[in-house]
Structure 1
Amino acid sequence: MTSQSGRSVVLGEVEVIRVVEWQGPFVPASRLVPEAGSEVWRENEDWLAPHHWEPRSDLAVLTLQSWVLRSGGLTVLVDTGLGNGRERPGPAAFGGLRSDLPGALERAGVRPQDVDVVVNTHLHGDHVGGNTVLGAGGERVPAFPNARYLVPAADDAHYGPGGGWAGGVREDDRVIYEDCVAPLHRAGQAELWDGAHRIDEHLALEPAPGHTPGSCVLRLASGDDRAVFVGDLVHSPVQVLRPACNSCFCADPGQAAASRRRILERAADENELLFPAHFGGAGAVEVRRAGDGFAPGEWGAAR
């Protein structure tokens, strides 16, 4: 697979830059979207392979990526990836990852001090790992010194110490919060939001709970162009075909499925380009209605 990191597109007055941290085979398809069934993968092999699925190994293929949006003089970073050298419980591919996300951002023309806003679509470790870096004294400090970090209040309450680090549901919740989120609070750079939050005239956040209590989407509306950055609301294109099917990582399956259908309906009806956090290939896709469900339309950011 060829990385498309650094590719950009202009939607209305907003430039969107894709920055890839990692991509490759991840977990068995049946584990990633357990409710989907094996037949949906086989029936769509002609376009799921090789960027979303490896038929021979039956492994789902995922990408870890961030999106940079240049809008109205602001540089907005959507999610910060897994982070470099973080030892985490979980998939072996993510243990002590040695990526070059900071270098990839710089090659895309984005220095840490240039970022004005960081959006965490939710507080899972592969979306907040690059929030912080080691400071001179060995403590964790914000990686983007001039940025406001927009953190969903519901996730902060759930994953923070007040919520018992999600009640211990995920082994690494405490570690992730303490080294990726708590330092933002200490530095006065965390901004909690709830209900809705407008960043500027083109960009707005809204809740899409279920994957986590505070998971959200970022909507882009500029000129005639529309897009929606959906984080982990959709892990695989299979969930576009079957929106009732959750990933194995969804905290509240019923709520996640309802949020997914609502977002896909609007994307189809309003011609919003869908930017998920983990799609390989072109990384973004148009959504079309297909009977009572949906189907992928044109791939990529070109309109």
Structure 2
Amino acid sequence: MTDEDDSVQRFVLGDVEIVRVVEWQAPFAPARALVPDCEPEVWRRHRDLLAPDHWDPDGDRAVAALQTWVIRSGGLTVLVDTGVGAGRERPGNPEFHQRQGDLPGRLARAGVRPEDVDVVVNTHLHADHVGWNTRDADGAWVPAFPRARYLIPAADDAHFGPAGGYGGGARVDDRLVYEDSVAPVHRAGQAVLWEDEHRVDACLTLEAAPGHTPGSAVLRLASRGERAVFVGDLLHSPVQILRPECSSCFCLDPQRAAASRRRVLERAADDGELVIPAHFAGAGVARVRREGAGLMLAPGLRRSPGTARTSASPS
């Protein structure tokens, strides 16, 4: 992995280039609030793996990142999730309310213009994964990527859309998120709803992994024997690799999320897939291995902001 600046890193798997574009990373939330069922002893016992990139022991706070992944595969430019956006009304979340992010500027530094993007993958429809789906054009929300197909899980679109009562009111901002970041994509004719499995190209396949939301998805990459899986919010912290049964406080169906998490992580361990979550700080990626009946975070992928790391791939 190589640094262009603190917010852009690139690496290659097979014939596919991956670019990590980071908007923000810092201590985010109390560790036990983020992953409520994970006892403090797990964090302390694995301090060497978790601190400082994923856990601030002094404040007992989980460290997280807000980031978008760019994939260049077979002539396509694909974005995986689009962050919080800018100028959004999010009264239920002070961290996101009226945030003035600049993902387009960071993408430009990575060599990606809005018109270059062919596909946008929303792993699910939470506010911090769809915010830059759209931009403000003279007071109206329009797709930020004018040529792109937006791949949206049908189950999430049904749950968070008006027919599903905007998530049944479970989150105060769900209606606002859908109306400013998803509905405009539908109106522009750029939304593609999918379910169960969807092939993006010869190297990329979307697969349902429900629980965090009804339509939560993972994106699998396979190219010339190298593999990765973009897991969205199946993982918020590496402690969930150590304890896959522990879901985050944001999971709408914690038990179903845990089942999806274990299935995806066990396959990653068995098939040698690089695990790429939406919110990991540090290197932003993880390797997983089996240890007895459980799973373990493989060492050697720690990276603090500003510390260059160079290799052909982040293994």
Q: TM-score, normalised by structure 1?
A: 0.96
What residue is the counterpart of 1:140 in the other structure? 141
| Range 291-300 or range 156-165, more displaced | 291-300
CA distance in 2, matches of 1:179, 1:93: 18
**Conservation of the 8 A alpha-carbon contact between 2:265 and 2:288:** yes
**Conservation of the 8 A alpha-carbon contact between 1:26 and 1:93:** no
What residue is the counterpart of 1:216 in the other structure? 217
- 3-state SS of 2:125 partner: coil
Which of 108, 117, 120 does residue 119 from structure 2 map onto? 117
Shift of 1:47: 2.6
Shift of 1:55: 1.1
| Range 93-102 or range 147-156, more displaced | 93-102
**Conservation of the 8 A alpha-carbon contact between 2:49 and 2:297:** no
Shift of 1:224: 1.2
Counterpart code for 2:58: R
Segments of 4+ moved more than 4 angstroms: none
- 3-state SS of 2:287 partner: strand
For residues 90 and 57 of structure 1, do their structure 2 counterparts lie closer, same or farther at Cα, with a shift above 3 Å needed? farther
CA distance in 1, matches of 2:158, 2:150: 16
1:170-226 per-residue CA deviation (whole Å, 9 max, x = no partner) reads 000000000000000000000000111001000000000000000000000000100
What residue is the counterpart of 1:72 in the other structure? 74
1:9-34 per-residue CA deviation (whole Å, 9 max, x = no partner) reads 11011000000111111111010000
- 3-state SS of 1:66 partner: strand
Q: 1:1-303 residue pairs with structure 2 within 5 A? A: 4-136=6-138, 138-297=139-298, 298-299=300-301, 301-303=313-315
Shift of 1:84: 1.8
| Range 40-49 or range 84-93, more displaced | 84-93
Counterpart code for 1:157: A
Shift of 1:90: 4.1
Q: How many residues align?
A: 301
**Conservation of the 8 A alpha-carbon contact between 1:158 and 1:165:** yes
Counterpart code for 1:270: D
CA distance in 2, matches of 1:26, 1:86: 20
Structure 2 spans left out of the alignment, 5+ residues = 303-312
CA distance in 2, matches of 1:4, 1:288: 29
CA distance in 2, matches of 1:24, 1:93: 12
Counterpart code for 2:124: H
Shift of 1:89: 3.1
CA distance in 2, matches of 1:90, 1:222: 41
Counterpart code for 1:302: P
**Conservation of the 8 A alpha-carbon contact between 1:4 and 1:282:** no
**Conservation of the 8 A alpha-carbon contact between 2:43 and 2:239:** yes
- The CA RMSD measured in Å over matched residues stands at 1.3
